[in-house]
Chain A
Amino acid sequence: MSNSEETIPIKDEYDIVAARSAGKTISSKCGFGLVDQTRISTAISELARNILVYAVTGTVYIREVDATGKHGIEVVAEDHGPGIVNLDLAMTDGHTTGGGLGAGLPGTKRLMDEFEIVTAVGEGTTVTVRKWV
């Protein structure tokens, strides 16, 4: 059976619902248990929401991945928005420029096994997260 993959363009709040339900479907197919499926879907929801709030539009890619000896899920949230000026600050619990709780990025990092963020001011932001079964 081939690995599942889905691309979800993010442009309004319905796309956030679509992204998290795709996360649920693919993580279940990967073999994750219910708690991990919930962790993954919540992480996807946060990343998709950041796209909508800060970059207005972007794309979420969700796919099953295989690495040596392990199988899991990879989520890439990509946008060409304003980028993040101070990444250390953005990764701090409680820091927000959008009137939120500032919990999204640090919380997402805690829910997943791997977390990478590449951002450039004026160019955009790409967050890649992975979790292994």
Chain B
Amino acid sequence: MQGAYEKIPVLKIGDFLITSIQVALHDRLALGLQDDILAKIQETNAKGLIIDVTAIDVLDSFITRVLVEIAKMANIMGVKTVLVGMQPAIAITLVEFGMELTGIQTALNLEKGLELIEKIVREEQE
């Protein structure tokens, strides 16, 4: 049975939370990730969140909505989100479909994402 034990790890590295989605996201897994990230934000004092979607080959409206919601809630809790590694084919499809990643910053890869989130957090603190 697929299910309960499935979890996407959320790591704390320095001031940041990093999660990398490596499996096909179904709804419950996406919602579980949302809960886990919000709990981790509360228990650590992370300042930034990086979500790595390099391995995702299809997004749909539900998953996109969950990602946008994670970023919104994180923002309310004072944490900025950067989405990294979105495949060009997905970016094109999202735009044509009419789905928007409102409120989420994006970067090409993890390295660029880390640079961006450090910059955002630094500017926030000034």
Contacts and interface: CB of A to CB of B under 8 A. Distances in A.
A128 interface: no
Interface residues of A, number: 27
Contacts, number: 70
Contacts of A39: 93, 96
Given A34-B89, A111-B97, A42 B59 contact: yes
Given A38-B89, A110-B98, A104 B24 contact: no
Interface in B32-85: 57-62, 65
Nearest to B90: A38
Contacts of B108: none
Interface string A49-79: 1000000000000000000000000000000
21 contacts: A13-B27, A13-B28, A16-B27, A21-B24, A24-B58, A34-B87, A35-B88, A35-B93, A37-B89, A38-B58, A38-B92, A38-B93, A41-B57, A41-B58, A42-B58, A42-B59, A42-B60, A45-B60, A49-B60, A49-B61, A111-B97
